[in-house]
Structure formats: structure tokens, C-alpha cells
Amino acid sequence: MKIFFLTPYHGEAPASDDVTRIAAALPKIDATVTTGTLDLRGVDLDAMPLDKARSLFEKHHGRMAAADIIHSFSRAALLLRPLFPATLIVTILDTEAVASFLPRPGEPGIEMLPVAECRDGATLLGHYRRILNNKKRHDTRPWGSWESLRLMDDHKVKHIYVAPGEKLSLQLHHRRSEVWTVVAGSGTITVGDKALPAGPGQVFIIGKEQIHRAEGGPDGLHFIEVQTGDYLGEDDIVRLEDRYGRS
């Protein structure tokens, strides 16, 4: 897991005494974690023209794009959110000053994390894993890709693309049901023991613990997936067959 931190900028009320200390401590707790930091403490963003502020962050785009999570202790990440490509966590003291920039209910890819949850490294790593598992905005898979469109406690909406000739694993979920609505392309969708041709406008209902799979046709397959259940994490999956060797 790669975490990239932003410190508060000059003149901004700090939500943490030492972000660099947090960044240094996490790999000692979990050797699979790597961290990087953009130190803004000497930068007065309030006095900086917008184009210069954009240029500052664009210089670090490669480092940020390589991260799994960007954890910002600065409101700059809210004000300039399109410049931050990874899943974003924001921890700040004054949310009223940026109220119009706060994430909307159900918005994937971003979470506001209270200061009290950032003081212990093990607790913080637990939050990172939870957020990656539940709130990731998009992902690329061997068969194609998916993008999360809306995320609530009891439902999630995703756009899924299956590339031509590729297919999802034959799978089931214990704690959620799904409804797939095909919006473009063609392919084959398996539900239970039936493999059916799929095209735009067709709807497939998949119950909890019901075996299912999607396969892309010559132009690929696009569908909207609506998940409902008491747990919507990406780890609620049992793969019964997978051409890519995943368990």
C-alpha cells in the first residue's frame, strides 16, 4: 500500500503536529506500506495565484498517481481536488471554511477522516485498508475496469466494462445482491446455470450466493451494477473459476 501525505500549508491551522512523523512511522508498523510526503509548510497558498498553485501540484502528479491513497492534512486537496488522482482522505480542523467543497453524500473516492482517528498508526492503517476496500473510485482488472458512481451504507452503483473476449470470474457474494443493466456493447451473462446473450436494455437480477459471470463480446460489454446488502466491500467475493489465476 502506497500512501502520499500533504502537510498543512503556511498559515493553515494544523490538524496534526507532525505529518512527517506519521509518514515515517507507518512502514515500521507494516513493512508492505510505503509513504511519501509533499511538505507545504513553507508555502503560502493563500497568497499564491491559482496557476502557480496548480503548477506546484502538477509537478508531483507522478508521485500522487502512483499512490493508493493521498492523505491530505491541508484543505488544498478539497479546493483543487481534480489535481489529486488517487483515493483521497482529508483531515482538517476547519471544515466550515470549505463547506461548499466537502464531498457529497454517496460520493466515492473521498473520505473526511477526523483528527482523533489519525493519532495512532495502527488505527490509521486500519482506516486506509477499509477505505481502499469500500470507497475506491475506480480500478483496472485483467478483464477490463470498473468505476464507482455512488456509494451509500446500503447500496453501491458501479459502471463495469468487460473488454472483448475477456470475462469476470465465475463468482458469488455472501452479503449482497446485484442488478446488472446492460447499457452498451454485447456479450454473455451467466446467472445460475443459464448463460444468456446480453445487449443494451437487458436487465439481470443476481441474488445473494447466486453464481454469476459476465463476458465481453466483439465490442466489449458495458453495464451498470447496483449492489444492495449489509456489506459492500470488494472482498465479499468467492471465485469458483478464474482464467487469470486469482483466488
Q: What is the mean pLDDT of the chain?
A: 93
Q: Which domains does the chain have, with CATH numbers?
A: 2-135 (3.40.50), 138-241 (2.60.120.10)
Percentage, residues of the chain above pLDDT 90: 80
CA dihedral 99, 137, 57, 23 (to 10 degrees): 90
Task: Please tell me whether residue 5 adopts helix, strand or coil conformation.
Answer: strand
What is the Cα–Cα distance from 112 to 104, expressed in whole angstroms? 11
Q: What is the pLDDT of residue 138?
A: 87
- Res. 15: pLDDT tops 80: no
Q: Which residue reads 491559482 in cell numbers?
A: 50
- Res. 148: pLDDT tops 80: yes
Write out pLDDT tens, residues 72-123: 999 999 999 999 988 999 999 989 989 999 998 888 889 999 998 998 899 9
Residue ranges of the alpha helices (H) in the chain?
Answer: 19-29, 50-58, 61-65, 76-79, 121-135
Write out pLDDT tens, residues 169-216: 999 999 999 999 999 999 999 999 999 999 999 999 999 999 999 999
Q: What is the pLDDT of residue 17?
A: 67
